[in-house]
A and B are shown apart, each in its own frame.
Chain A
Amino acid sequence: QAQLVESGGGVVQPGRSLRLSCAASGLTFSSYAMHWVRQTPDKGLEWVAVISYDGSKIYYLDSVKGRFTISRDNSRNTLYLQMNSLRADDTAVYFCASPVDTPYFDHWGQGTLVTVSS
């Protein structure tokens, strides 16, 4: 049974950094693209970034380009999201998600809350 578990969320001041992790188990992690999606009450669900199975292709939401970096360590079955220069509007629950059984987001983590506040 494939499972994704996020960690690393918390409260951080504006302008500071935070790194999220997503640990995968029960799947051949190195075979699948991985995505980050965030959710706020105001904006709903918002796709953030994707990294291909081997890390060679990466795409970002425009509003996080230059501030967020998605990466993966296939030897550790772990996805990362390095978030720098955090802003109040980055406050959200962050989910990792992956197309495992279908080409769509059929597996999701439980989410980790990031709160950007002074």
Chain B
Amino acid sequence: IQLTQSPSSLSASVGDRVTITCRASQGISSFLAWYQQKPGKAPKLLIYAASTLQSGVPSRFSGSGSGTDFTLTISSLQPEDFATYYCQQLSSYPHTFGGGTKVGIK
């Protein structure tokens, strides 16, 4: 299963609403996760089962979608949110990742 993320990069300002999409090449129900990664660090789980917020993750992060189309939304971008975001499907092996979306400062 291939995951296509868009855009591959974006520039935004603090306070902006940011939306990242992830499209699966076939239906994966809700078996999708979103991760945030900062340079030199391991990915951090933000959202799982497409829309469930991981414990400790700020509520400005939200996820939606099922089947083949998914969205990660950051409602009001904060300075600590500048990072790269990845989706991952856990519907079947191999558990593929999307290509990533780098969120930079405008």
A47 B42 Cβ-Cβ under 8 A = no
A105 contact from B41, B49, B88, B96, Cβ within 8 A: B88
Q: Do residues A61 and B86 form an inter-chain contact, with CB atoms below 8 A?
A: no
Q: What separation, in Å, do the CA atoms of A95 and B42 have in the docked complex?
A: 8
Chain A interface bracket (under 10, 10 to 19, 20 to 34, 35 or more): 20 to 34
A to B contact number (C-beta, < 8 Å):
56
- In Å, the complex CA distance between A50 and B93 comes to 9
Chain B residues within 8 Å of chain A by Cβ, number: 23
Known A108-B42, A108-B43, A110-B42; judge A101-B55 contact (CB<8 A): yes
The reply to whether A35 and B95 contact each other, CB–CB distance below 8 Å, is yes
Please tell me if A66 contacts chain B, counting CB pairs below 8 Å.
no
Q: Are B97 and A47 in contact (CB under 8 A)?
A: yes
CB contacts (< 8 Å) of B33 on chain A: these are 104-105
Q: Which residues of B are found within 8 Å of A110, using beta-carbon distances?
A: 41-42
